A = this chain, B = another copy of it.
Amino acid sequence: MEIISSCEKMQELAKTWQKEGFVVGLVPTMGYLHEGHLSLAQAARKKCDIVVMSIFVNPTQFGPNEDFAVYPRDLAHDTKLAQSVGVDYIFHPQAEDMYPEHYSTYVQVEGLTETLCGKARPGHFRGVTTVVSKLFHLVLPQMAFFGQKDGQQVAVVERMVKDLNFPVTIVRVPIQRQSDGLALSSRNIYLSEEEKKQATVLSRSLRMALKAAQNGEKNAAALKELIYQEISRQDLAKIEYVEIVDAVTMQPVTELKEQVMIALAVRFGKTRLIDNIMIPQNCED
């Protein structure tokens, strides 16, 4: 496995792969890898000739009061983990190389980015779509692998790829969870033991809502209320949002009809956790 830190070198190499006709898979990450990231790399390993994992804590997707400076980083450990699942190249650019002086260009998806996390984190998705565009041009992948954990993010990236005609296929990989249901996240290390225990309510409340939907409950307000009540039983949980949205447009629905996503963001102390579940159409069947 090789670690590449120069943008120019990355793109030169990518061009040679293109000439050779290799199928290249990109796994974009911010590092501090866990099983969730590794499942993306494993999916890429199965489908691609060359697997590139980018590790870049992208400053443009953090708000001024967010955790950019303290976001966990451990390249040495990440390198071992990436190697263990067959990643061929780690692309680890420097921020000054990605955003040099006079940097001025941003990619913005409208509409989908204004609900859920986009509401609470203005500019976040603009940073995501901008850096993903850059990574696509630097690594020139045919496929890119995103986790369903960041459900709105993958919907936004899919919209961008379609709208801007990127020659890239987006592959969604299911959420990886601990045995107690907690969705894996690099931010879980911020949690105390008690917070970690209480945070299992996120997946539990989503499963309760899924079951209620399967039992015929179609009303979004009723399903949301179920989740609110369940989460509110945990005294350390502060709900930021619970929403039921169309899985493509990310706009709130009042009744379950098309494929929808139930998404939530909850704070435990300073730690903001997100989770979601997809509810397919005709989930009663």
Contact = CB atoms under 8 A, between A and B. Distances in A.
Interface residues of A, number: 33
A21 B16 CA distance: 10
A167 B11 CA distance: 8
A165 B108 contact: no
Copies in the complex: 2
A111 interface: yes
A63 B163 CA distance: 21
A198 interface: no
Given A11-B165, A164-B134, A165-B11, A111 B107 contact: no
A126 to B, nearest CB: 9
B249 A102 contact: yes
A245 to B, nearest CB: 14
A83 interface: no
A137 B165 contact: yes
A68 interface: no
A105 B108 contact: yes
Contacts of A106: 107-108, 110
A105 B105 CA distance: 13
A110 B102 contact: no
A146 to B, nearest CB: 16
A160 interface: yes
Nearest to A15: B167
Looking at A7, A112, A129, A133, which has the most chain B CB atoms within 10 Å of its CB? A133
A140 B167 CA distance: 9
Interface string A124-136: 0000011001100
A90 B106 CA distance: 29
Contacts of A107: 105-108, 164
Interface of A: 7, 11, 14-15, 18-19, 21, 102-112, 129-130, 133-134, 137-138, 140, 159-160, 163-167, 249
